[in-house]
Chain A
Amino acid sequence: MDNLNNIDPQMWNKIDKSKKDAEKVERPNLTYWQDAWRRIKQNKVAMVSLVVIVLVILSAIIMPMVWKFKYSDQNLELANIPRKLEIYKLTEQDYIYITKDYKAIKVTSDGNLLGMADVINNDMTNRKRVYDVAGKEFVIDYSLYFNAKVEFNNLSKKAKKDPTIDLLAAEHELNNAKKYEVFYDGQLVEVSDKVSNKTYILGSDSLGRDLFIRIFDGARISLTIGFVAAFINFVIGILYGGISGYFGGRVDNIMMRIVDVISTIPMMLYVILLTVVFEPGMKSIIIAMSITYWVRMARIVRGQVLSLREQEFVLAAQTLGASTKRILLRHIIPNVMGPVMVALNMQIPAAIFNEAFLSFIGLGVSAPRASWGSLCNDALQGLYTYPYQLFYPALAISITILAFNLFGDGLRDALDPRLRK
C-alpha cells in the first residue's frame, strides 16, 4: 500500500498521443516478394537447390571461357578414353594405357595423356599389335577375346538346335572375360596402377573431344532453351489468359474452348513435327516449344484473373478512370505473379527435359555443338564399352532438373502457404 503513495503525481497525467507506441510499426514493411524470400530462406532444401541452379548457370557461362579445351577441339588419337586409367608401368618413365580397341597410349605416371605409342607392326591375322616403347617391343595380344568370340559364335549356332544351352549366360561370360594380354620385351606385364585422367578429367568422347567441356557447353544450350522457351510460354500464357479472364463472357468462352482443343493434342508429337518442318536446331526447338506449351500457363493466369477482377481495387481503378491496359498491366498482372512464377519455374525443367528428349531422337542441335540430350544420344552407340559417356551428361540433366523441381516446391510453399502440401 505504501508503494501507491510513493507514485509520482506526474504519472497520472495524460500523455501525448504521439508518444504512444501502439501505432508504431515495429518491423519494416515487407512486400510480397520480400515476405516470400524470408520464407524460402528457411527452407534448406530449396536454398541448396537454388545454389545448385546458380552454380550450374554460372559454370555454364564461365567454364567454356576458361577451360583448356573448346567443345569442338578433337584429337582422334585420344578418342574414347575414360576418366580412370589402368596403366602399365614399363620403365621408370614409360607408362602405357591400353584403350578398349587395343591401342597403346603413352601416359605419364600421374595420368597426363601424351599420345599414341609408335606402331611397329599391326598384325591383323594373329591379332597382335606391336609398338615401340623406349627402344623395346611392346606387344598387345588380343587373340584371347577373338578366340572366345569364335567359341561363342559356335555355341550360338548349336543353341539354335539345342534349347538347353543358356546363351544369355554365355554372352554374359564372354562380355566379362579377359580380352587381351600385354608383353613388354617378351615379359607378360600386369596393370600396375590406376590413375585419374588428367588431360580429360571426365574422359573423351568417340572423336577425342573433352567430355567435361562438352557437358558445360551443352549446359549453355540446354539452359538457354529451357529459359527462353519457358519465358516465351510465360509471355504468351499471361497475355492469353489475362485477356480471356479479364474480358470474361463470350470472349473467355471461345478462348477457353480453343485451349481445351489444344490441350488434348499430344504436344510432343507436334513439337517433333514442327522441329522437322523448321529444320532441327536450337531455334526451331525453341519456336516449337514456345508455341505449344503455353496452355497450362494461360489456364492458371485466367483462373487467377477471373477471381481478381471482382476485387475492390479493380473497381476502384475503374472508377478513377484507368484504362483497361493500365488495369491489366498495373493492377492485375502483378497480383497474378505468385502462382505464375511457380508454374514458370516448373516449365524450365520441363523444357530442358523435352529438349533432351528431342535431341535423343535426333532432332537436336547439329554437330559439333551438343546439348545434354544429344550427348546422351551420341553415347548410346558405345554404351557397353564406354558407359561413362552417357553417365555424366545424364547426371547433369538429372541434377539440374532435380534442383529446379525442389526449388519449385519451395517456391510454391513460400509464395502461397495455402498450397502447402
Chain B
Amino acid sequence: MGRYIVKRVISAVITIWFIMTLTFILMNNLPGDPFTSERQQSEEIKAAVYAKYGLDDPAHIRYFKYLRNYAKGDFGVSFQELGMTVNHLIKVAFPYSMKIGIAASILIIVLGVILGVLSALKQNKPTDRIVMILCTLGVTIPSFVLATGFLYFFSRKLGWVPSYGAGTWKHYIGPVIAISAFSLAFVARLSRTSLIEVLQQDYIRTARAKGLSERTVILKHALKNSLIPVVTYIGPMIAGIVTGSFVIEKVFAIPGMGDFFVSSIQNRDYTMIMGITVFYSIFVVIAILLVDIIYVFIDPRIKYD
C-alpha cells in the first residue's frame, strides 16, 4: 500500500510538471505579446518593459524562471490590470468559489446518495421512476440554462432570492443548485446501480438468512460497499465544479475565481489565464490524488502493487 501511495504521488508530480510545461508552450506560441496595443510605443520603452518582465530572455531561461516562481507559489501578475496578481486573486476571490464548491460537494454527495439509495430500494416503483427521470434531465440541461432559469423564476418572477452578488446565504442557493445538478444526477445514478448490484451479492443473502432486520442489512452490510464507486467519482466531480463555476459565477455575478477567469479570457489577459489555469489544474490534481489515497483505506478488497 505504501508503494502504491508513493507511486501515485510521483505520478501526480509528473502530471503537474506536464501541465505546467504544456501551459508554458501554449502561452509561448501565442500570436503577439502582452504589450501589443493600439498605442505605438517607442522601441526603448518596449525594451525596458520587456526587460522588467524578463520577456527578452531566451525561452529556456524563461521556462526555468517560470517553474521556479510557480514552485515558490508565485502564480504571476496581470498584464492588463496594474498591480493585480494571481496570488491576490486567490486570496480575495477563491474563498467565494470555495464556499460554493464545498456546499455543492456536500449537496451532491448527500442528496445524490440519498436519491440513489431511495430509488434502488424502490426499484421500478414510481419513486424510482421519478428519480431516474429527474436524473436524466439533470445530465441533459446545461448548467448555465439551469442558472439563468433559476434567476428568472425565483428572483425575477417570485422575488424569493436576490439576483446577484454574494452577501447572504440566500445568494448561494441558486449557484449551488445550478452547479450541482449534473454531478448530483450522476451520483444518484451511480449509487443506484451500485446498490442494486450489491443487494444481489451472496453476503447480503447470508445476512438476511441470519435473520437480521432489513434496516441492518441495508445500513450495515449493503450501503457501505455500494458507496465505493461514489468515492471514485469525487475526482471528476471536483473538476466539474471548478469548470462549472466559470459560468455560474458569471450568471450570478459572484466575485469568485471563475468570474475573474472568464473576464480575463474575454480581455485576453494571458498571464492571468495561464496563472489561473495552472492553479486550478494543480488544485484538481491534488484533490484527485487525495481521493485516490483515501480510496486505498476505504476499499481493502483491492490489492495495490
Contact = CB atoms under 8 A, between A and B. Distances in A.
B142 A272 contact: no
Interface of B: 11-12, 14-15, 18-19, 22-23, 26-27, 29-31, 136-137, 139-142, 144-145, 148-149, 151-152, 156, 158-159, 162, 193, 235, 239, 242-243, 246-247, 250-251, 262, 265-266, 268, 270, 273-274, 277, 280-281, 284-285, 288
Contact of B18 (A261, A268, A373, A383): A261
A333 interface: no
Nearest to B270: A276
Nearest to B273: A276
Contacts of B14: 261
27 contacts: A172-B159, A173-B159, A175-B156, A261-B11, A261-B18, A264-B12, A264-B284, A265-B281, A265-B284, A266-B239, A266-B242, A266-B243, A266-B281, A268-B243, A273-B277, A276-B268, A276-B273, A277-B30, A357-B142, A357-B144, A357-B247, A360-B144, A363-B265, A387-B152, A390-B145, A402-B140, A406-B136
Interface string A153-178: 00000000000000011011101000
Given A276-B270, A376-B142, A384-B152, 10 more contacts: A168-B159, A266-B284, A273-B277, A276-B265, A277-B26, A357-B243, A357-B247, A361-B250, A384-B156, A405-B136
A376 B144 contact: yes
B140 A264 contact: no
Interface stretch (A235-243, A311-319, A393-401): A393-401
Given A171-B159, A261-B18, A361-B262, A269 B136 contact: no
Interface of A: 168-169, 171-173, 175, 257, 260-261, 264-270, 272-274, 276-277, 279, 353, 356-357, 360-363, 373, 376, 380, 383-384, 387, 390, 394, 397-398, 401-402, 405-406, 421
A242 B22 CA distance: 26
Contact of A398 (B140, B251, B268, B270): B140
Chain B contact surface mostly: helix
A398 B142 contact: yes
Nearest to A390: B148
A265 B148 CA distance: 29
A273 B148 contact: no
Contact of B193 (A260, A380, A384, A421): A421
Contacts of A264: 12, 15, 235, 284-285, 288
Nearest to B23: A273
B265 A272 contact: yes
Contacts of A361: 246-247, 250, 262, 265-266
Nearest to A271: B243
Contacts of A353: 142
Contacts of B285: 264-265
A106 to B, nearest CB: 30
A406 B152 CA distance: 29
B136 to A, nearest CB: 7
A277 B29 contact: yes
A171 B164 CA distance: 13
Contacts of A394: 141-142, 145, 148-149
B142 A356 contact: yes
Contacts of A376: 142, 144-145, 148
Nearest to B235: A264
A241 B152 CA distance: 46
Contacts of B30: 277
A10 B270 CA distance: 96
Contacts of A261: 11, 14-15, 18
Contact of A397 (B18, B139, B142, B277): B142
A175 to B, nearest CB: 6
Contacts of B144: 356-357, 360, 376
Nearest to A404: B140
Nearest to B151: A383
Given A172-B159, A277-B29, A380-B251, A401 B140 contact: yes
Nearest to A359: B144
Contacts of B239: 266-268
Contact of A260 (B11, B31, B158, B277): B11
Contacts of A387: 152
A30 B266 CA distance: 55
A273 B23 CA distance: 8
Contact of B140 (A172, A260, A267, A405): A405
A294 B193 CA distance: 26
Given A175-B156, A380-B251, A402-B136, A362 B280 contact: no
A141 to B, nearest CB: 25
Contacts of B19: 265
Contacts of A257: 11
A257 B288 CA distance: 16
Contacts of B156: 175, 384
A354 to B, nearest CB: 9
Contacts of A384: 152, 156
Given A168-B159, A276-B273, A362-B262, A270 B148 contact: no
Contacts of B18: 261, 265
B247 A360 contact: yes
Contacts of A172: 158-159
A29 to B, nearest CB: 35
A168 B274 CA distance: 39
B145 A270 contact: no
Contacts of B246: 361
A218 to B, nearest CB: 14
Nearest to A384: B156
Nearest to B146: A394
B136 A273 contact: no
A140 B264 CA distance: 43
B136 A383 contact: no
A270 B266 CA distance: 16
